Amino acid sequence: MAQYELIEMKARRFGYFPRTFIWRDQTIQIEAVLHVWTQQRGRTINRHFFQVRGADGIERTLYQDLLDQTWHLQIDNR
């Protein structure tokens, strides 16, 4: 099961797509959004997921929790 950590979203493109976020005191710039999908419970969409590639070339998965307006980063727990 995927593990996620809370991040601070600093900037978004078009008010929707993630652009810059802070995780563990590190600012990460997003170069491209590769894929977008939603998670729904009943009739309510509760999360927007984003597969992104950072300016550092690393692909990451983020989600926005629509219920509490927080952002989260999937972490690798190997």
Q: Tally the domains of the chain.
A: 1
In this prediction the pTM is: 0.90
Sole residue written with tokens 């729904």: 40
Residue 71 clears pLDDT 70, i.e. is over it: yes
Domain of 23? 3-75
Complete DSSP assignment for 5-24: EEEEEEEEETTTEEEEEEET
Give the model confidence (pLDDT) of 13-58 as tens digits: 998 999 999 999 999 999 999 999 999 888 888 999 999 999 999 9
Do 41 and 28 form a contact (C-beta atoms < 8 A)? no
- Residue-level pLDDT at 70: 97
